[in-house]
Structure formats: C-alpha cells, structure tokens
C-alpha cells in the first residue's frame, strides 16, 4: 500500500491538538492541514490501515522522519485521508497542498529486497541517508550520473539479497539511488527516475548462499 503520513508540528500547534482525538480536535477548530508536516512517503507491505498502524508502531520504517504513528496523525492512501483516532481511523477532508515538509529533502528511488522500487524523498543529511539503508552508507557509482547508496555491512549482517549489478556484484538490504553531484549526492531528475526505475524494476530471487559467496575479499600486493 502506498501511503503518506502527516504529523502535527509542535511549533504550529496553537490549539494544542497534537496527540488528541478527533472529537477534541473538532471542538478546537477542526483538522488544519497547515499545522501538519509530511513525515513519510512510502510503499508498505500492508493491506489495510490497521496493518499500517501495526507496522509503524512495532518497527520504525527507515524512511520515517517523525515519531511512531499516533493519535492525531493523518494517513493518506488511494482511498483518501484518514485521521488516526483513539480507536481506529476516521476518514476526513485533508488538503495536502497546505501541509509542509523540510527543504533538505533529496528525491531518490528506493529499492527493497523482494519489492518493486518506488520514488520518494529522504533527508539530505548523513543521518537521513544512514537511516534509509539501516547503517553506514556505501556508494556504488553507476554509468552516467547515478549512485547506488547501500548499507556497507549489509552482507555481514545477513540482510536479504536485493539486486544484481551488471558486473555481477550483489546488493543486499535496502538501498536508494540518487544523482552524483561530484563531492555530494543530489536529487534524481525526471529522466533518471525513469531510467533507473526501468533498470531495477524487477525484484530478484537471490539466495543467502549467493550473498555469502559475494563477500569475498581481494588482497592486492606489489611484485618484488
């Protein structure tokens, strides 16, 4: 399920409705999209909102920029916007155009094992990039101006195989693809999103044995 999650910004919460149920919010001016920040734009392995709630409370999603899903949060999916109430979700009117998100976001393609890739945004900071891949980052430069950024220790940690690169190297664990701006990374262009979406579209079945076999070390020396 593709979703977006919005959470109230404490600094804009003049009516103190953060973490309060819908009835209380209604008595204090109603749900105001203008005090909400977008904190997640992701594709979850969920079939309903209850699954979404369970996932975002038991396991922190690597792309989540806020707290665990809680009362007063708003979840948007293809069926509309839903207020996370004290018990369950309530459908509401919610103008996403009035919400906010940080300026320091980077447009990327996010690729997880066994799943189709999708376009999203991550915090353009070292912390945000490390959170997205679950550890220390390791760049792999692609032909052109693209960069795969993965977890440096993914194979040592036993993470599932994800995709095979053209040179036969196996990427394990989640990774994202961004642009190469020389000394730093950058957002993907529209053309790059299409290019890399096509290149990495299909999930691959990669056994643990194949991942382990790809962990070989090479020792280089000088001839005397």
The answer to the question of residue 220 being in a domain is: no
Whether residues 83 and 120 share a domain: the answer is: no
The answer to the question of residue 149 being in a domain is: yes
Q: Residue 191: CB partners within 8 Å, gap ≥ 6?
A: none
Given a cut of 90, whether residue 155 has pLDDT beyond it is: yes
Q: Which pLDDT score is estimated for 123?
A: 95
Radius of gyration of the chain (CA): 20
Q: Express each pLDDT in 105-126 by its tens digit.
A: 999 999 999 999 999 999 999 9
Question: Domain span at residue 167?
Answer: 105-213
| Domain count across the chain | 2
Q: How far apart are CA 22 and CA 224, in angstroms?
A: 77
Q: Express each pLDDT in 17-65 by its tens digit.
A: 999 999 999 999 999 999 999 999 999 999 999 999 999 988 789 999 9
Average pLDDT score over residue span 80-102: 97
Given a cut of 90, whether residue 95 has pLDDT beyond it is: yes
């Amino acid at each position: 399920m593709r979703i977006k999650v919005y959470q109230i910004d404490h600094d804009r919460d003049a009516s103190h409705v953060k973490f309060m149920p819908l009835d209380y919010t209604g008595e204090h001016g109603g749900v105001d999209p203008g005090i909400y920040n977008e904190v997640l734009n992701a594709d979850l392995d969920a079939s309903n909102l209850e699954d979404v709630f369970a996932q975002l409370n038991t396991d922190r999603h690597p792309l989540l920029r806020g707290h665990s899903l809680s009362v007063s949060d708003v979840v948007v999916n293809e069926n509309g916007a839903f207020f996370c109430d004290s018990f369950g979700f309530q459908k509401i009117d919610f103008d996403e155009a009035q919400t906010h998100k940080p300026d320091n976001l980077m447009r990327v393609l996010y690729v997880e094992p066994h799943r189709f890739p999708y376009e999203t945004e991550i915090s353009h900071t070292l912390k945000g990039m490390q959170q997205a891949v679950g550890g220390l980052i390791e760049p792999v430069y692609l032909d052109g101006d693209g960069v795969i950024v993965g977890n440096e220790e993914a194979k040592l940690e036993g993470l599932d195989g994800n995709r095979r690169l053209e040179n036969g190297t196996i990427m394990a664990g989640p990774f994202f693809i961004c642009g190469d701006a020389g000394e730093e990374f950058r957002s993907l262009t529209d053309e790059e999103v299409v290019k890399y979406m096509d290149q990495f579209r299909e999930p691959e079945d990669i056994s643990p044995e194949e991942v382990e076999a790809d962990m070989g070390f090479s020792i280089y020396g000088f001839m005397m």
